[in-house]
Amino acid sequence: MSRIEHQPTDRNKATWKRVALLALIAIWLFSGIVGRDPWKPDEPIYIGVLHSLFTQGDAAWWSPTIGGAALVGEAPFIHWINALVVYVPMQFMPLHEAARISSAMWAAIAALCLALAARRWSAGHVSYLAAIIFIGCVGLYDRAHTYVPDIALVAAIAIALLGSAELAAQPSRATALLTLACTLAFMSRGALGGLLVAVPVFLLNFAPVLSMHRLALIRSLVFSSVAIAALSFAFSHRAPDAFRDWVADGAGLVIDERESFAPFAYVTALLWFAWPAWPIAIWTVVLRARGFVGGWQRAEIIAPIVFFVSCYAVLLLGTEQRSVHAMYFLPPLALLAAFGVDTIRRTWYAMIDWFGILVLGIATVGVFVVSLAVYLKWPPHLAAWLDRFIPGFRADLPWLGYGIALIAFLIWIALIQPAHQHSRRALINWAGCVTFLWVVAQALLLRPADHVTSYRSVFVALDKRWPAQGCVNAQDVSPNDIASLDYYVGRKTVLVDNLEDARCEHLFLARWKGEPPAPPPTQYELLVRAARPGNSSEQFELYRRVVPDSPIPASPASNPLGANGAESAKTP
């Protein structure tokens, strides 16, 4: 009697397996949102924008500000939605931790939309796998667990892919989803976000198979254009100065100020960022191009390719290269990979499986050993070496963290138990290994990492010598530091371009490797110098004027900050 091979499918999946997969995704989503301060380069700025919504009054809801100063180049739209999500959680936890709940929400929406899109295109054979591949991408975890608008844009791209999947069966629903995706993308990243979704939706009008649904595609572009025009008109009407600066800054695009043109930068970044999705996605395209498994002229292949290529072209031509932008490629790559997993060779998925179990498992053991050196000072040689990187760190043994690590270890062992070997199991094991590593690292090493990365101690030290009255000028201080100063200690500054323009009695400097030069001692005396533990390159200094001058009233709102300062700020 011949043996009947089991064909993997998501149809009629056992209830306990569905619960287990949902639990894995939920653990991944909520494992890294608490326990640390905002970290550079971007998160302090957007936490500052969100903080201003709740503290600066109605004007801040239309004109984004940080530290009382206007943030040029930033639109307020996505922060409105996030503020609604954050309002209740912030009653029970710090704002920066509550803000990350909105990021987890957007990541969950992206994973859900990818699963639904795969389910629609595969008639139920593929669904959860697309979400598992998405969360298993190596570079996504730390980006998806910070408060940045880019997470909402990733969700918008996933919604657009779901809308593309609904074109054949539910044109009206597809129109609504694509309209929502374009509008949400614009709300997230302005013109850049809008183009990242609108361009592929427009190109689908000329793609095989999908071009027959041209009416729904055109309707979505028209409806989203109306919504974007309404938002832009309301912005220009309620905050004309902020809108004018936003448009002059590119409305979300950065073209003239790009530091370099690197056409292959995203290709090299995705080699690790999108692992293991990208090799399986390439295999899927190659296999379909050779005519196997239905060929390449199918919507589940064409739509993700169009989104991927359009994303690459828009990012290459419309903005400067940044690693966080690599997140935009993950939804189409995850979908392509989901449709190729069942066809990859045994040696390939065995390599992914054992690489995840062995390498990531060994890395997790390394995290455990490092934690022993940090907290128990054993082994002594490793502890002495680590003290150079976390000087001054002292803490009791994190019993709760070790308890969480033990529970995660037991769950991980249960996940990787020998079972029927197939490619889907390898991808699930991979996502479980990635999640296990991050959970253990968060549980055991988050406090020492926050000790050397957080700027809270710096600004608390400055606050102790901050003048009780009068204004403080700030020179060469990045938007990150302006936002952190206001968020941690509630201090605001008056920005000046050079020392000659300073009129306040006190001066605040942020110096990176001695630049800019310290003010002459005949004019200013140093009150306090602060720096993060173990970092002597970046120093923050507060001075008091020796020779009195005519002080000016504090009016930080008249000193705009560039939103793109988050991207070019000096970061240690």
pLDDT in tens, 413-437: 888 775 567 888 899 999 999 999 9
Answer yes or no: do 286 and 182 share one domain: yes
SS3 284: helix
Answer yes or no: do 161 and 106 share one domain: yes
Whether the CB-CB separation of 22 and 129 falls below 8 Å is answered with no
Answer yes or no: do 229 and 266 share one domain: yes
End-to-end CA distance of the chain: 67
* pTM, two decimal places: 0.93
Answer yes or no: do 256 and 395 share one domain: no
| Strands 538-545 and 524-530, sheet pairing | antiparallel
Residue at 181 is within a domain: yes
**Mean pLDDT on 196-225:** 96
Answer yes or no: do 147 and 21 share one domain: yes
Number of domains the chain contains: 3
Whether the CB-CB separation of 65 and 557 falls below 8 Å is answered with yes
Q: Note the pLDDT of residue 354.
A: 86
pLDDT at 566 over 70: no
| Strands 561-562 and 69-72, sheet pairing | parallel
Answer yes or no: do 132 and 203 share one domain: yes
Answer yes or no: do 167 and 291 share one domain: yes
Distance CA 262, CA 418 (A): 45
Answer yes or no: do 361 and 419 share one domain: yes
**Mean pLDDT on 341-365:** 89
Answer yes or no: do 178 and 203 share one domain: yes
**Mean pLDDT on 54-64:** 87
Mind giving me the DSSP string for 343-408?
Answer: GS-HHHHHHHHHHIIIIIHHHHHHHHHHHHHHHT--SHHHHHHHHTTSTT------HHHHHHHHHH
pLDDT at 571 over 50: no
Q: Which position has the higher pLDDT, 110 or 497?
A: 110
Tokens linked to 205: 């009008």
Which long-range contacts (C-beta less than 8 Å, at least 24 apart) are formed by 402-407?
402/443, 402/444, 404/439, 404/440, 404/443, 405/368, 405/439, 405/440, 405/443, 405/444
| Strands 506-512 and 538-545, sheet pairing | antiparallel
Report in angstroms the alpha-carbon separations of 345 from 126, 279, 350: 18, 12, 9
Q: What's the one-letter identity of residue 216? A: A
Domain boundary among 453, 468, 503: 453
> What pLDDT digit, counting tens, does each position of 446-485 carry?
999 999 999 999 999 999 999 988 899 998 888 999 999 9
Domain boundary among 278, 311, 343: 343
Distance CA 431, CA 140 (A): 12
Answer yes or no: do 353 and 495 share one domain: no
Tokens linked to 308: 């991927």
Instruction: List alpha helices for 62-94, DSSP H.
Output: 77-86
Residue at 45 is within a domain: no
Residue at 128 is within a domain: yes
In total, the chain counts a number of residues equal to 572
Q: Note the pLDDT of residue 20.
A: 84
Domain boundary among 418, 453, 488: 453
For residue 345, what are the contacts with CB-CB under 8 A and spacing of at least 6?
Answer: none
Decide: residue 548, CB within 10 A, 0-12 exposed, 13-18 middle, 19+ buried. exposed
Average pLDDT in the chain: 89
Q: Which position has the higher pLDDT, 557 or 238?
A: 238
> In degrees rounded to 5, what are phi and psi of residue 260?
-155, 160
Residue at 71 is within a domain: no
Q: Note the pLDDT of residue 11.
A: 64
Tokens linked to 553: 């009233």
Residue at 47 is within a domain: no
Whether the CB-CB separation of 485 and 460 falls below 8 Å is answered with no
pLDDT at 25 over 50: yes
Q: Produce one character per residue of 350-368: b if its CB has 16 or more CB atoms within 10 Å, e if not.
A: eebbeebbeebbeebeebe
Q: Note the pLDDT of residue 570.
A: 36
> What pLDDT digit, counting tens, does each position of 224-265 carry?
999 999 999 999 999 999 999 999 888 888 766 666 667 788
Host domain of residue 367? 346-453
Answer yes or no: do 227 and 375 share one domain: no
Answer yes or no: do 311 and 407 share one domain: no
> What pLDDT digit, counting tens, does each position of 255-313 carry?
666 666 677 889 999 999 999 999 999 999 999 999 988 888 899 999 999 999 999 99
Residue at 74 is within a domain: no
Q: Which position has the higher pLDDT, 164 or 7?
A: 164
Q: Note the pLDDT of residue 569.
A: 38
Q: Note the pLDDT of residue 572.
A: 36
Q: Which position has the higher pLDDT, 296 or 6?
A: 296
Residue at 59 is within a domain: no
pLDDT at 547 over 80: no
Taking the CA of residue 46 as centre, how many other CA atoms within 13 Å lie in the half-sphere pointing to its CB? 31
Q: Note the pLDDT of residue 261.
A: 66
Whether the CB-CB separation of 296 and 285 falls below 8 Å is answered with yes
Residue at 508 is within a domain: yes
**Confidence grade of residue 335 (pLDDT, cut at 50, 70, 90):** very high
